[in-house]
Structure 1
Amino acid sequence: MAAMFYFRGLPIGWVAIMLALLASMGGFIFGYDTGQISDIVLMDDFLLRFATCSTPGDAATCTFSTVREGLIVSLLSIGTLVGALLGAPVADFLGRRRAISVECLVFIIGVIVQICSSHVWQQVAVGRFIGGLGVGALSAAVPMYQAEAAPAQIRGTLTATFQLFITFGILVAYCIAIGTRNTPGSGSWRIVVGIGILWALILGIGIFFMPESPRWLAAHGRIEDAQKSLARTRGLPEEEAKGHYIILREVEEIKYSVQYEKQSRGGWIDCFRPKNKTLYRTLLGMSLQSLQQLTGANYFFYYGASVFKAVGLQDSFVTQIILGAVNFVCTFGGMYVLERFGRRKPLIIGGIWQSAWLFVFASAGTAVDPTTHHGIGTLMIVSACMFILGYAMTWAPGVWILIGETFPTRTRAKQSSLSTASNWVWNFLLAFFTPFISSAIGYRYGFVFAENVDMMYTDPDCKPWTSSEWAPSGFTSRRDLIEKTRAAEAQKPLVSNGVEEDRIEKRSGSSEV
């Protein structure tokens, strides 16, 4: 075994690179499961089986109710929420590799439940919930494993591969969906869902060919195994590991950290103690993960195909692939930006950039009917791509890197779980309520994300620990904002973009809706 290359004078083995790439299949599974549903809910056979059809056998007359579509899409997020809370404790108990393998098995069970469904939409939703348990647990265990096993000199970059693979998974889901959409019968969507088993098998089996986390091994008294693990990631022969100065130094650092952790092991309550800024870091992690969802990115990933179909595109699947490609390619730039310019400034600039393009998207769709003005529809697509560019280069990888770097050893697992869980809470809320909100206010939904992100960041009085109660100027509290918004909406009906109302008007022959 030899070092693959040297970084800052220290050897880096090929196993360290393979470890990061293979473990990031957990992110790929997350992205693939996120991306596939946007296209599946538009497939004819899926509509005929699980939607409500006014004319049996005619997919053009089939539609999902907002509740049904919201549950099918969002129950994945409820599963991931539960899985994220369980992920770190399970990884502590079983070890990082065994935990990842078990979580892949749970995901496979969820996939099987989905593809075995014939006409019961609830079974599809439950299958996505079970799959979400595995995805959520992986989202907690994989970054932890990468942060503990990767050499410190390239840890940030390798940890960012988790987000890179999320974007890759989304793109692959879009590509497979466009390839299977014309497949006769249920193969159009069952193939897309079923292929997820392959990704889980690659990770679940392949992870056992990688070294275990040296920190976890040392915590269980397996110092010699920890040395071998470090030797493999450094590309050093195992027979030299015991006496090599790099390995000896890193083992001593790990042993010290483990000893300190045992002497001051933290429980859940310790995550919220102000001492050593532990509370601050817990709230910071939860706020960052929440705001990552509140940028609005998943609005496009979950419902993008439906959104672009609504603006008059004949092939919204192609637009999804364009968005997915932008997301994937720009994540490489994000990895460079975050290493070159740090974490804080890219997040601030990225938030402003995203809000600006969301304003363009929402303003264009609100001002003019995009179904009758091709130029407006094109502008909305360009705006979405520019938004995704900013997201992929800042908030998407940046938050996951920060989560791996921010927490102290003794409470790292629990704080990681809390932070990831907050991500999934907002993921569920946005996935479930988007159909309701979009049907009420249409493309003005973009203003919701744009205003909140931009104003929250430019408000000097808004702190991470007060962001959950933040409200724009003119409102005394978040509750006051909600109540006044509801009162204003009650005074006048809100329509989406006039499309649905025009359809109703044409059917009824009346000028009133």
Structure 2
Amino acid sequence: MAIMRTGFLGIIVSIYNIGCLLGCALNFFYGAQFGRRQAIWIAMGCIIAGAILQTSAFSVAQLMIGRIITGMGVGIDTSTVPTYQAELCKADRRGRLVTTEVLFTGLGVTIAYFFDYGMSFVDGPLAWRFPIACQIIFAFVIIILIFGLPETPRWLIQQGRVDEAVEVMSKVFNAPNTDPFIVAEKEAILNAWAGINVIVFYAPTVLETNVGLARNTALVVGGCINLAFVVGSLVPALGSDKWGRKKPMMFGAFGMGLSMMMVAILLSFNGTAKAHTTSQASIAFFLTFMLCFGASLNAIPWCYSAEILPLRVRAQGTSLAVMNNWLWVFVIVMVTPTMIANITWKAYLVFMACNFAFVPMIYLLFPETKGLSLEEIDYLFLKQDRLSLEDAHQQGNSANNSLANSKMEETAQLDMVEKI
């Protein structure tokens, strides 16, 4: 019966991620047609509809349907926003600006933890209905804010709306349409044509079941652990354009694997005289895990997946990447209650092995993209033996210089004609 209960809990919690997967699939096929702004509006509509269904639910079936619809909105949103940000940023600021979005996601999760902790002292269904309903407020705020934001110039050029794209770049970069940077950017676009979900979803359950904390204490400590996630996220938000993408991801994955190894070792003493001390000590490594995750594999992949793809398949490729993310989130969230109930501390060895495996994978397969424009990044994939960063810079700069020179020659010729 315990296995059935934990399995059913896994289904209820993880079915949200099935919705996220479906949202990414929809964005994969239709996102490029609607554009970035409309996709975000559609996403918020799904989140509002799903939240209404969940808030008014009087059966498990209605609650699960609401979670699927909300998940669809989150799937569309998370596969659109990184692309939207990457396409509106200058190359030297892209890493900081895109990863900051994930920093605020972590901050929101932390606030939600403590909000839910406060609502746990409220009697009756209001304790869970009100927190779910609150997401409707933020969805409406985003809908209103999007009215004041432009469509991305790269999507506009892809649709043949070049003049609108130039106007957007002029406003975003606060420069006239004839500015050399905007001219070169327009021409370049025209030519270019891991175990974390266990901690985020089940932190109180893990702390109760594996560490032995009381329910209220587990909720508070779970919120503090997610606060460490926010603190770690400051690292890419402030330094990814300085330190690059590869090194932080490799060091972060190694730190996460080390943290999971220490958690497994300390929790393996459960049932012995040392159980209380070692279980309490494991909390420190849950914190280091979240710090390492926030500083590396939390935010950087969202930026990376959006920037390495060429314009013509950026919406579909980002959707596919995020779809893959939500698929594995679903699998992990689905099996976690059963894993913790049956193999206890050994579950963390699985995540340890995955994180250690990420280090050589990132080193061997991931090219560095720091400081490159989206069009320059395309040059990294032109050959089987990829171009170096310097080569990509030279290729991109020579293309932009030739375009700028041709533009200057045209202007000089027009001036001569006018003088004659």
TM-score range, shorter chain: 0.7 to 0.9
2:36–2:152 CA contact under 8 A, matched in 1: yes
SS in 2 for 1:95: helix
Q: What amino acid does structure 2 have at the position aligned with 1:122?
A: A
Say if 2:90 is the partner of 1:151.
yes
Structure 2 residue aligned with 1:99: 39
SS in 1 for 2:268: helix
Structure 2 residue aligned with 1:218: 157
Structure 1 residue aligned with 2:120: 181
Structure 1 residue aligned with 2:142: 203
Q: What amino acid does structure 2 have at the position aligned with 1:244?
A: D
Structure 1 residue aligned with 2:205: 306
Say if 2:252 is the partner of 1:350.
yes
Which structure 2 residues correspond to residues 155-166 of structure 1 after superposition, within 5 A?
155-166=94-105
1:339–1:211 distance in 2 versus 1, CA, 3 Å: same
Structure 2 residue aligned with 1:502: none
Q: What amino acid does structure 2 have at the position aligned with 1:128?
A: R
SS in 2 for 1:407: coil
TM-score (normalised: structure 1): 0.67
How far off is 1:76 after superposition? 0.9
Which of 177, 185, 195 is the matching residue for 1:250? 185
Paired with 1:372 and 1:64, the residues of 2 have a C-alpha distance of 31
1:424–1:459 distance in 2 versus 1, CA, 3 Å: closer
How far off is 1:456 after superposition? 5.7
Paired with 1:370 and 1:379, the residues of 2 have a C-alpha distance of 15
How far off is 1:377 after superposition? 2.6
Q: What amino acid does structure 1 have at the position aligned with 2:25?
A: L
How many pairs were matched up? 363
What is the CA deviation profile of residues 428-465 of structure 1, one whole-angstrom value per residue up to 9, with x for unaligned ones? Answer: 0001011111111012111111023215645899979x
How far off is 1:67 after superposition? 2.4
2:270–2:279 CA contact under 8 A, matched in 1: no
Structure 1 residue aligned with 2:10: 70
Paired with 2:66 and 2:27, the residues of 1 have a C-alpha distance of 19
Q: What amino acid does structure 2 have at the position aligned with 1:157?
A: R
Q: Which stretches in structure 1 are left out of the alignment for 5+ residues?
A: 1-51, 53-61, 262-293, 465-513
How far off is 1:196 after superposition? 0.8
Paired with 2:163 and 2:273, the residues of 1 have a C-alpha distance of 66
How far off is 1:392 after superposition? 0.8
1:372–1:110 distance in 2 versus 1, CA, 3 Å: farther
Structure 1 residue aligned with 2:26: 86
SS in 2 for 1:151: coil
CA root-mean-square deviation: 2.4
Paired with 1:420 and 1:93, the residues of 2 have a C-alpha distance of 18
1:159–1:404 CA contact under 8 A, matched in 2: no
1:337–1:346 CA contact under 8 A, matched in 2: no
SS in 1 for 2:80: helix
Which of 303, 309, 314 is the matching residue for 1:401? 303
Structure 2 residue aligned with 1:58: none
What is the CA deviation profile of residues 157-189 of structure 1, one whole-angstrom value per residue up to 9, with x for unaligned ones? Answer: 111122212211211211211121112211111
What is the CA deviation profile of residues 21-65 of structure 1, one whole-angstrom value per residue up to 9, with x for unaligned ones? Answer: xxxxxxxxxxxxxxxxxxxxxxxxxxxxxxx9xxxxxxxxx9981
Q: Which moved more, 1:85-94 or 1:434-443?
A: 85-94
Q: What amino acid does structure 2 have at the position aligned with 1:141?
A: T
Structure 1 residue aligned with 2:312: 410
2:52–2:66 CA contact under 8 A, matched in 1: yes
Paired with 2:290 and 2:20, the residues of 1 have a C-alpha distance of 23
1:157–1:457 distance in 2 versus 1, CA, 3 Å: closer
Q: Which moved more, 1:346-355 or 1:246-255?
A: 246-255
1:463–1:218 distance in 2 versus 1, CA, 3 Å: closer
Structure 2 residue aligned with 1:321: 223
Which of 325, 331, 346 is the matching residue for 1:444? 346
Q: Which moved more, 1:72-81 or 1:216-225?
A: 216-225
Q: What amino acid does structure 1 have at the position aligned with 2:54?
A: Q
Which of 161, 168, 174 is the matching residue for 1:229? 168
Paired with 2:179 and 2:363, the residues of 1 have a C-alpha distance of 51
Identical counterparts, % of pairs: 28
Paired with 2:88 and 2:363, the residues of 1 have a C-alpha distance of 39
Paired with 2:174 and 2:177, the residues of 1 have a C-alpha distance of 14
SS in 2 for 1:396: coil
TM-score (normalised: structure 2): 0.81
1:387–1:251 distance in 2 versus 1, CA, 3 Å: same
How far off is 1:360 after superposition? 0.9
Which structure 2 residues correspond to residues 270-419 of structure 1 after superposition, within 5 A?
294=194, 296-310=195-209, 311-314=211-214, 315-369=217-271, 373-419=275-321
SS in 2 for 1:367: coil
Paired with 2:358 and 2:38, the residues of 1 have a C-alpha distance of 41
How far off is 1:373 after superposition? 4.2
2:82–2:306 CA contact under 8 A, matched in 1: yes
Structure 1 residue aligned with 2:111: 172
How far off is 1:223 after superposition? 2.3
Paired with 1:350 and 1:434, the residues of 2 have a C-alpha distance of 23
2:12–2:64 CA contact under 8 A, matched in 1: yes
Q: Which stretches in structure 2 are left out of the alignment for 5+ residues?
A: 367-420
Paired with 1:415 and 1:171, the residues of 2 have a C-alpha distance of 30
2:44–2:140 CA contact under 8 A, matched in 1: yes
Paired with 1:206 and 1:144, the residues of 2 have a C-alpha distance of 18
Which of 399, 409, 425 is the matching residue for 2:327? 425
SS in 1 for 2:93: helix
Say if 2:36 is the partner of 1:134.
no
